[in-house]
Amino acid sequence: MSETALLDEIPSLDLSDFTSGDPEHKAKFVQDLGTAFNNIGFVSIKNHGLTEDLRTKLYEFVQVFFKQSDEVKKKYEFLELNGQRGYIGKGREKAKGFKVADLKEFYHVGQPEPEGEMPHNIFPEETPEFKEYTSLVFTTFENTGKTLLRAISVYLGLQEDYFEEKVRNGDSILRALHYFPLDPATVADGAVRAAAHGDINLITLLMGASADGLEVLRRDGKWIAITALPDQIIVNVGDMLDRLTNHNLKSTIHRVVNPSREKMNTSRYSIPFFMHPRADMDLTCLESCIDADHPKLYVDLTAGEFLNERLIELGLKKA
């Protein structure tokens, strides 16, 4: 597939090609995944492990939570956690470089059994099913993410298990997002559901949302709409993987635009999984990704240092 074609559409791959045991299928999956991540940073994945029943149940109880009053939801908001667990209310987060907050509220679920200083999960008492289904999807997507990272390792010429210990009990987060209904008369100038940004983490896994709105910035400067098909998830490169590979694998800028005026009074729900490593992972650019034509672009940081830097830039943590 040509680079132009990759820019016009997100390539679709089957994860079972990597796990089937067929060397040719595995090698082709690795090459196609690496090519997509090198060109546009996004890919669609089939046979990802998330069943349609589980996805449907998850959305059902995420919506139940967000339809509750702000008073109830704020019981699960703890500012001292810097937005890493529990509820994060309206107006709390803005994209890096933007002064106006995104038009959204969200809920973060992390490792079921946190280690060290990692915060414990907070779950709403009013909707016990929320805990059940967010926890199930967290585990499902963490396993899928590990498999994808194995393929990325092979593409980069690393040992296949290169990321395994680095993501074991990592800082990954399942984010349940509610883009609430909007009143055109009160929306601040420049305010959108999610301003243009790159994700912080290694890779992001995104199941189909409840409505359109996600757009990806092509390398020619044009925005294209992206929608996950019912049996697929969208996977994209995050800034940490971009740094590690010296921009060989590219963290692509994306956004969630406001709906048309006639649909502004409707909600949009989306549930991405942000695959993070442990805080002590070294994000120093791989030597194999640096040469005369590709000089080192980034200063050396650990994943924890980079995350802390970005949380401050997003307004979730004070400097």
What are the tens digits of pLDDT across the range 20-70? 999 999 999 999 999 999 988 899 999 999 999 999 999 999 999 999 999
What CATH code would you report for 3-314?
Answer: 2.60.120.330
The two beta strands, 194-197 and 173-179, are unpaired
Q: How far is CA 49 from the centre of its chain?
A: 17
Distance CA 286, CA 290 (A): 7
Q: Is 224 helix (H, G, I), strand (E, B) or coil?
A: strand
Domain map (residue ranges) of the chain = 3-314
Mean pLDDT value of segment 275-287:
96
- 256 against 109, higher pLDDT: 109
The two beta strands, 42-46 and 232-237, are antiparallel
In sequence order, the 6+-apart residues with CB closer than 8 A to the CB of 74 are: 87, 89
Q: How many residues does the chain have?
A: 319
Do 226 and 216 meet the contact criterion of CB atoms below 8 Å apart? Answer: yes
Distance CA 176, CA 199 (A): 15
- Residue pLDDT, tens place only, 196-234: 888 999 999 999 876 688 888 887 888 888 877 778 999
Q: How many CB atoms lie within 10 A of CB 249?
A: 25
Distance CA 138, CA 319 (A): 30
- Residue pLDDT, tens place only, 132-188: 999 999 999 999 999 999 999 999 999 999 999 999 999 999 999 999 998 887 777
Distance CA 92, CA 101 (A): 7
E strands along 47-124, which residues? 86-88, 105-109
- For residue 8, pLDDT over 60 is answered with no
Q: How many CB atoms lie within 10 A of CB 204?
A: 25
Q: How many CB atoms lie within 10 A of CB 269?
A: 16
Single-letter residue type at 200? I
